[in-house]
Structure formats: structure tokens, C-alpha cells
Amino acid sequence: METLLIIGAGAAGSVTAKKAAMNRDVFKTIHLASRRISSCEAVAKQCATPVHTHQVDADYTEAVIDLINNTKPDLVINMALPYQDLTIMDACVATGVHYMDTANYEPREEAKFSYKWQWPYDPKFADKGILGILGCGFDPGVSNIFCAYAQEHLFDVIHTIDIVDCNDGSHGKSFATNFNPEINLREVTQAGKYWKNGQWIEIDALSINCMVDYPEVGERKSYLIYHEEEESLVKNIKGLKQIRFWMTFSDNYIKHLDVLQSVGMTRIDPVMYKGHPVIPIEFLKELLPPPSSLGAGYTGRTSIGCIFDGLKDGKPKRVFIYNVCDHAQCYQEVQAQAVSYTTGVPPVVGAMMLFKGEWGGNGVKNVEQFPSKPFLEELARQGLPWHVKELAANEQDDLFAVKT
């Protein structure tokens, strides 16, 4: 294996391309494709080594098939929108090429995270002898692999997992999202959900919060939301009793979100404007700063990880596995902010695992189903070091006190 095709040249896709271009011992040929070839060309100019650029509309399977036939990759990484997961997966099945993404499919007409559309591709991929690697960003992605590592190396049984995600950065804008605005706002405005004792429990959006103590950041208010990795982790982490996902939002973000929701700007259904159907959230996306524009001058850090409670050798144990990533350092390396960096680097590492034979097999799998240690070792080498901290009984009191 030596040829990589990346589809999507946005904020995270640009990081994936640039980091892949720094690892030519693994990736001999790199192709970057997007709906706008000008976006690919702009990224290619910033890459350390040559990257081939192409135009493709990934909404159409036949267009992706033509691109694959022209570029002959060993792996296609979808760094475009999750709306395109299925069209690209169909193209990979048709051409017999491995597939990877960073976020699960959701239909445009419904804000709903679920693997129910992608997991059924397992027999199709298996019949073709190819591998579909799902959710290889940071969360989902590295968060899943932290869980696999904890299960394999740190615990006899894990009872609870709290995935915690903090962006403590400042981009200087009155309101902006750190990744695609449309996807971000769909994510946080849908109902919250968590898993406990074998069932999913739904809550009103952003209705539960607590203080979480984030490494190198400190205590920040964090909101319980639903996130897609929970769906696969309840299948693959044995003995689990509860899993929750928490994310920080500033008071300013919540204020703007409340106003946008109240006036209908986060709606995903079309409204008629001067005789033409307009989807408010798609129009809002065009008004907000693109995530790729936020890197210059961005200060602060992201602090993301997983907090585990379980047993080892019959004794209670709590562990925090996490990464801290600095916005300014990311910009210095790849001209991107840390949210794009933490999303864009892991698929490069996942691709390295596949190309080097550390990950293998066929069918459709989530990343926690592969060996965790070689991935995490390479992740640190590629700029995302991770840390394991054993927690004392009184640490993260607010989080463990939330009775859900």
C-alpha cells in the first residue's frame, strides 16, 4: 500500500493532507479532492511535499468511482461532510478500495447520529475483501481508542465512561464554530442522550451540566450531549454500565445559540423565501466565519479525554486518559487551529496503521476494534501526545455527583 486519496479540503481535511505529506515514507502518492479544486490547490501549496489535486462532487457515487479509477488509491479518507459517507462507501465497494471516515452518516433531513446506515455495509465490504474504518477522528476516534486501551491494559472491567471535551480557546470572533457550522449546530441542538444499564435515556438539549476539571485548563462548565462514539462503545466495551459525553460551551456561545434557535435560524427544514426554498441552517453557515479562517491569532488549548471508573484486581480504580493541544502551536505547524488539528491528525495515523499492517481484516469496523497501543504510540509521534492519570477518590467530584 502506498497511495492515499483524501476527499475534503476544509479545515480538518487540510490538516490531514499536510500531515500525510510529512510522512512520505508511508504515503508515496497523495491525492486531495474537493467540490472546489481551488480549495485543494490552496492546501497543496502549503504541503511540505507534492500533493495531486482533483475536483469531485462527493454527493454522487459515480463521480467518486471515476475519481478512484483515475487515482487508484489503496485507501479513501472521507474528510468531507458526513452526508457523503454512504456515497463514498458505495464507491469503495464498487472499486474494491479501503474506506475511512471521522464522523458517522446522518441524513440531511434529520439531525440524527447513528451507525444504523453504515454498519449494514459490513457484508458488502467483507465480500470485497476490503476494510471500512469508521470514526477515526478525535471524538469519535481517539476517544474510542482511549477506551480500548483502558479495557486492554488498565482495567479488568470498566463500569462507567465519561468522555469530556473542552475547547478553552479564544478566536476573537463574536460567534463562530470550530468545525463545520451546519454540523456543529445540528449536533448541539438535537436532544441529549446517554446510555445506562442497557438502555438509552433521552434528555432535553443542554439541560444537564456540571463542572469538569480539565488538565492544563481547569474547571469548566460542561454540558451532557449525545455523541456517536457512545453507540459503538456500548457494543465493544464489556461490562459497561453507563457512558456519557460532555462538552464545554461558553456563556457567549449559549447566548448566541439561544437567539438563533428562537428565531428559527437553526431549522433544517426548508422555508420559502421570495418563491425559493431556503434551509435556514445552510444560510446561517454562509454567514458565519469558516473554521479554516480561525487559526491565525487563536489562543488557548483543547483538553479532551475519557474518565473511567471500574475495577482492577478486585479494587476500585479511576483513570483519566487525555490529550491537551495548543491552538498557536498547531497554527505554527499546519496553519490550523487545534480543533481542526485534533480531527485531522488521527485519520493520518489510522491510515499509517493500515498501510503498515498494524490494522487489518475486512468488513466495517469502529476504531476501538483494532489494536490500540500501536495507534497511540504513533499518535504521540505525530503531534498528539496522550497521558494517563490515576484519579484520587475526591477528584472530579462534580462529575461523579451527577446522578443520571
Q: Which residues neighbour 384 within 8 Å (Cβ) at sequence distance 6 or greater?
A: 142, 323, 325, 341, 342, 345, 346
Average pLDDT along the chain: 94
In whole angstroms, give the CA distance from residue 104 to residue 117. 9
CATH superfamily name and code, 3-138+340-381: NAD(P)-binding Rossmann-like Domain (3.40.50.720)
Cα 91–Cα 100–Cα 103 angle in degrees, nearest 5: 105
Taking alpha carbons only, the member of 10, 11, 7, 4 closest to residue 336 is 11
Domain boundary assignment for the chain: 3-138+340-381, 142-336+384-401
| Residue 242 bridge partners (DSSP) | 160, 196
Residue 311, pLDDT above cutoff 90: yes
Give 207-259 pLDDT, tens digit per residue: 999 999 999 999 999 999 999 999 999 999 999 999 999 999 888 888 888 88
Give 358-396 pLDDT, tens digit per residue: 999 999 999 999 999 999 999 999 999 999 999 998 999
Taking alpha carbons only, the member of 249, 8, 229 closest to residue 137 is 229
Fold of the domain spanning 142-336+384-401:
Dihydrodipicolinate Reductase; domain 2 (3.30.360)
In whole angstroms, give the CA distance from residue 16 to residue 40. 12
pLDDT of 175: 83
Q: What percent of the chain has pLDDT over 70?
A: 99
Among 99-108, 178-187, 249-258, 281-290, the minimum mean pLDDT is found in 178-187
Give 62-82 pLDDT, tens digit per residue: 999 999 999 999 999 999 989
179 pLDDT band, cuts 50/70/90, is: low
| Residue 169 bridge partners (DSSP) | none
**Residue 142 in grid coordinates:** 481517539
In whole angstroms, give the CA distance from residue 302 to residue 365. 27
What is the distance between the terminal CA atoms of the chain, rounded to a whole angstrom? Answer: 47
Residue 97, pLDDT above cutoff 70: yes
**Residue 273 in grid coordinates:** 423565501
